[in-house]
Structure formats: structure tokens, C-alpha cells
Amino acid sequence: MQKRKLGNSNLEVSAIGLGCMGMSQSYGSAPDKQQSISVIRTAFERGITFFDTAEVYGPFKNEELVGEALAPIRDQVVIATKFGFQLHPDGRPGWIGVNSRPEHIKQAAEGSLKRLKIEVIDLYYQHRVDPNVPIEDVAGAVKDLIQAGKVKHFGMSEASAQTIQRAHAVQPVTAVQSEYSLWWRRPEEEVLPTLEELGIGFVPYSPLGKGFLTGKIDEKTSFEPSDIRSTIPRFTPEARKANLALVDLLGKIAAHKQATPAQIALAWLLAQKPWIVPIPGTRTLDHLDENIGAASVKLTPDELREIESAASKITVQGARYPEHLEKMTNL
């Protein structure tokens, strides 16, 4: 597995990371804990050194899982986690709202360090921008944590270009994590040019469109009620049927390259910028191997132009989130 540096920082990670959220929530019943630990450790054995979690996943369970899985190899991996939600006091799933008050950030960091069984968080993202707390105060709180030796790098998630610039002026931002794939390209408008200008890395989550770009989902696929896709407008049967045009495009390129649609979708992301590191999530070893294989798929300039030309003629149907969640992005 090749390595990449996130922007101008010295944070070097595998070209593809592993998003661990789905091992604890969002995609129906969570898998067996030992199975998830096995997937995480196998990912490392196969070259992945970048693992993504958050306190809100579970909540708390995912950090505990990742901490246990990576404990034997802690010094050889980069662990990213996130703060910024006010969780239910009784520990049930979901959250009450956002909370990035400086004192809350510092409390959240202590909890994450304990659950992850680590002494320093490699990359600490603000999970969602808190409109009630100036971003300069948030960056200042993370700066304090960095100076205290509890955090190494500051990250942001789903923030606007202007918010990123303001935060970066207080504490340099190492990476921004936002959704980005062939079926959600809004970061190209303002965020990616800003990151290039400031020397910040980009970490696309849902790089396979929550599984849709793998070609294994169509309008007949059914989702458990606890699967987030059952609430997403882009995943209604009508939208899925319309959006298969994008999967068909990936399938054509994949057949020519002796690859899979998922590998083409990830290879396309890797080809956009050398400082982009996608973090596809998976619960199974066969999908893990498929995702890792994408790092070896090289798309030629002609193939990239062909994808661009064909994709530009396809209009993806449906919003990417229900309205209440979409309001929390790009602030």
C-alpha cells in the first residue's frame, strides 16, 4: 500500500484508510465484535495505517472497539476521532445537538483517550461546525490540547471554505473530512481549492456512496429500519433506479480495467489530488480486499476524461441526507 501525506503536514498515512463507524451503527445490526476486531487487524496487516472513528459512533462503542483492536500495534497506526456532539446522558444512540464549547472539547478528548486506550489522539476532528461557538474558540481549544500533548493534529468535518480559513489562522488544520465521491462532488466548488491553497489534506468519507457505487444495490434492495439508508432521499427506490446510470458507467470502465465498480470509484478519488485519502468503511474481509485493491488501479488521463464526460451528463437524484442532517453541513 502506497503512503500519502495529508497536505503540508508531516502526517503520513496509507493511501486508503478504514472508516470504522459501520462496525457499531448506521447500517443495520452491528456485526460480532470479534469479527470487527479481525477486520481492523487484517486491514493493518494488508497495509492500512489510517483508522477513523468518533465518540458519537455507538456512542462510545466504536472508539472502544478501535482501541482494543489497535492496542497491539498502536505505535504503527494513525487514529482519527471526532468531537462536537452533545450526547444523551443515558448513553443511548443519537445526540441532543452540537456542542463545541472549549470546556466540552477538553472533556470529550479525555473520554476518547480513555476509550481508545491511547496517550495522544493523532488527528482530532470537529465532527460538525457548532454555529453557537466561534470557530476561533474551537481552534484555540484544540491548540491547547496539542500544546498539552493530548492531540497531534487538528481536523474539521463538513465545514465551509470560509470556516476552514478562519480556523486555520488560529491552529493549522491538517485535514478536512467531508463526503466526496462521484455522486457527491460539492467539495470541488470551494473546499478543495481552499485546501490546496492552504496545504490541508482531504479525507473523503462515504467514498462509495454508502455502498451504492459498488454496484451491489439496486431499486429492489431492502434495508433494515436501523439502516440509515432507509431514511435518505437518495436511497428511495425511485432515486436508486435513476442513479443506476452512474453505476453503469463505473461498471463499463471496471470491465475494461479488470476491476470492480467500487475500485474504479476509489481510484477516481485517488486520481483527483495526491493529498486525498478516502476512508471506505466495511465489515467484511472480501470488501476490505476489494477496497485495498483500488490503490493499484491507475486510471489514465483518457479514462479520467471519459468518466468526467459521462458523469457530467448524469444528474444524481435525491438529497444526500434528510433535511435536519443536511442543515448541519458546510457551515
Selection from 103, 16, 31, 101 nearest residue 62 by Cα:
31
CB atoms within 10 A of CB 310: 16
Active site residues: 57
Selection from 146, 177, 188 nearest residue 7 by Cα:
177
Whether residue 100 contacts residue 328, with contact meaning beta carbons closer than 8 Å, is answered with no
Determine the Cα–Cα distance for residues 202 and 246; give it in Å rounded to an integer. 23
CB-side neighbour CA atoms (13 Å) of 17: 28
- Long-range pairs for 225-229: beta carbons < 8 A, 24 or more residues apart: 226/28, 226/29, 227/26, 227/27, 227/28, 228/26, 228/27, 229/27
Looking up cell 472480501 gives: 286
Q: Which helix (H) or strand (E) holds 270?
A: helix 261-272
CA distance from start to end of the chain: 34
Looking up cell 485495498 gives: 292
Q: Cis link prior to 322 (omega < 30° from 0)?
A: no
Selection from 169, 99, 171 nearest residue 128 by Cα:
99
Q: Cis link prior to 278 (omega < 30° from 0)?
A: no
Read off the C-alpha cell for 99: 456542542
For residues 14, 51, 221, 233, the Cα torsion angle rounded to the nearest 10 degrees is -100
Strands 85-87 and 18-19: unpaired
111: helix, strand or coil? helix
